[in-house]
Amino acid sequence: MPVEKSFEPAIVAFCCNWCTYTGADLAGLNRMKYPENVHVIRVPCSGRVNPQFILRAFQKGCDGVMVCGCHPGDCHYSTGNYFTRRRFMIMKRLLEYNGIDPERFHARWISGSEAAKFRDTAAEVSEHVKKLGPNVKYREEFRITESAEAGT
Amino acid sequence: MSEKQEKMRQCAEKLLRDGEAGYVIGWGETRFDDRTTPIFVEDPAGAGAFVWNEYAINSLAKYLLDDKYPDKKIGLFTRGCESRAINRLLKDNQIKRENVYLIGVPCDGKKSDRCTLCRERNPILYDVLLWTPEDDPPPAAGRFDRVKDIEAMSPDERYVYWGETYDSCIRCYACRNVCPACNCRECYADMSKTGFQGKQHSRSDNQIFGVTRAFHVGDRCIECGECERVCPMNLPIMGQTQKILKDINELTGEYECGMDATSENYLGRFDLDDKDEFM
């Protein structure tokens, strides 16, 4: 698939309510600019993010996915992000194993005061994904024959 | 072989005659010489139907889920793989130990691909052991060989490999039905209204089923190989679950499931010093 110059990736960021979402809010309050193609979805805790959400996002047409939560030890629910860490260490590798480019999936710890880190991460991910072009892997629009061509 | 078979029949007959077990699950003859089928025997006189040969392949443990509240104990012939599956079911709170009577039958390896990676021939868990334990096979050096082969490909090649694999998946869910780790009352793939799993026959939905299934069972997989054995399309689906096991082994050291009924599975617990790449 040719990459059009005007390609703007769709990136979904699952942000934990207590840290990253507040961090993104702070970025807004401080008038920091981050790419508008990062769509924030608020979740109660990064532990809420079912790995299936990531697959589903790719299937429905996202080009990149971010999962962001509190730093280990800072979880509002004490232990949620420790489970997240284990889960996504495995999921990240499994996605790569299935052919998803590692640049398309990112997990980051961003605290409520790290507005700049949120901005930088969003910009970085957006830039990487832009370079990679639209995601065809796991996209549901592509039928068996079409996607076989797109994949090769 | 026939001596062992005789011991099995005698043991089953005694259990049934004494009323200790309501019925016994084992392997029985079919009209093919190279096949056996799981059978359920209630009548002591029928215990002669049990067979023990190199074709007694099916794992029997999952049948316990079809009768969770039996009147009497369920007798079950237990090899290494069954005992690990039973540990799995006990840990997942699916069955009660006092509801089953495990007849240990050390296994000498069967004529099946699923036995090539076997590392546990003797039952870990049993109520009675019918004959002397076999020597465990040497740890298979090639345990993760095929995972390594796939890892050596480029991302696009991996995508095509798995895509082409799942293109022929017919979504019969046999792999789920036979898996001792897949014991949810209702599987996410059957929930038609939540939208977790699309029902189309497309590469995308097939792959998502494959990856999700692997992730659901990955850290609890006992590597019995039943999923591959029952797959009507002969898909190498253990390549996915073994990848997860390989990663766990690399991240936290030696990890094996189903060796006891108490320890928490990998994704159900955490360690403060877990490796972190998300800083």
Nearest to A99 among B147, B162, B247 (CB): B162
Complex ipTM value = 0.89
Among candidates B82, B140, B74, B141, which has minimal Cα distance to B106?
A: B82
Please judge whether A85 and B196 are an interchain contact, meaning their C-beta atoms are less than 8 angstroms apart: no
Residue among B167, B203, B271 with most chain A CBs within 10 A, to mutate: B203
In this prediction the pTM is: 0.90
What's the mean per-residue pLDDT of chain A?
Answer: 88
Residue owning tokens 């991460």: A121
Query: Number of CB pairs < 8 Å for A and B?
Result: 127
Please judge whether A72 and B276 are an interchain contact, meaning their C-beta atoms are less than 8 angstroms apart: yes
Q: Which amino acid is at A13?
A: A
Angle at A38 between CA A32 and CA A43, to 5 degrees: 100
For chain B, give every domain's residue range. Answer: 3-129, 145-268
How many angstroms away from the CA of A54 is the closest CA of chain B? Answer: 10
| B170 touches A at CB < 8 Å | no
Please judge whether A56 and B162 are an interchain contact, meaning their C-beta atoms are less than 8 angstroms apart: no
Q: Which amino acid is at A99?
A: G
The least confident of A47-56, B66-75, B252-261 is B252-261
Give the C-alpha separation, A31 to B99, whole Å.
65
Write out pLDDT tens, residues A116-132: 999 999 999 999 999 99
Please judge whether A142 and B204 are an interchain contact, meaning their C-beta atoms are less than 8 angstroms apart: yes
Q: Which residues of chain A have pLDDT under 70?
A: 1-5, 142-152
What confidence tier does B140 reach under pLDDT thresholds 50, 70, 90? Answer: low
